[in-house]
Amino acid sequence: MNQKLDFIFRRRSIRKYEDKKIPAELLTDLLEAAMAAPSAVARDPWHFIVLQSRENLDRLADILPHGKMLRQATAAFVVCGDINRTHDRQESYMLQDLSAAVENVLLAAAASGLGACWLGVHPRQERMAGIIKMFQLPDNIVPMCAIALGWPAEKPEARTRYRSECVHRERW
């Protein structure tokens, strides 16, 4: 693994966190990294709901069946898209834009020493409905995912999942 890319290889899904708050400035750094992502026609359809209260983190954990780590996390982002701001109002473009922003958050978290875990919401209707209700989202806002955040209480090894059989040069 190329050591210059260590922050990428260290990015792992962290599900255990220390009981230690994340400074507001660091959360802002993560949001700035998110919004530095590429976006189709620079439409930037993203919105981020920042959670730090134990009550809201626990409520979100109740909505997401694989989100139990939110009960230990000290912060989370709920990543949403504004379909009206998306290129050609196409859901696919919105999901691509939001995914790029999420990956930037995950890499920035790893580079900052934080742990993070991407939690799927879209296209699961029951998860989307729960988030729409919890946060009273307007009709044009689509919840895509959540990101659990915290200081890691586990340290998985850096790794790559490179597989040469998945690389096709010049043709299939």
List, in order of start, the domains of the chain with CATH numbers.
10-155 (3.40.109.10)
Hey, what are 78's tokens?
């709920």
Average pLDDT over residues 75-93: 98
Residue type, 122: H
Quote the mean pLDDT of the chain: 97
Residue 134, CB-side half-sphere exposure with 13 Å CA sphere: 20
Hey, what are 50's tokens?
């920042």
Nearest to residue 152, comparing CAs of 15, 29, 53?
15
Q: What is the pLDDT of residue 25?
A: 98
Q: Between 89 and 1, name the one with better pLDDT.
A: 89
> CA-to-CA distance for 84 and 91, rounded, in angstroms?
10
pTM: 0.97
Which residue is listed with tokens 């899904």?
Answer: 13
Residue 10 banded pLDDT, cuts 50, 70, 90? very high
Of all residues in the chain, the percent with pLDDT exceeding 70 is 100
Residue 1 pLDDT > 90? no
Q: What is the pLDDT of residue 161?
A: 95
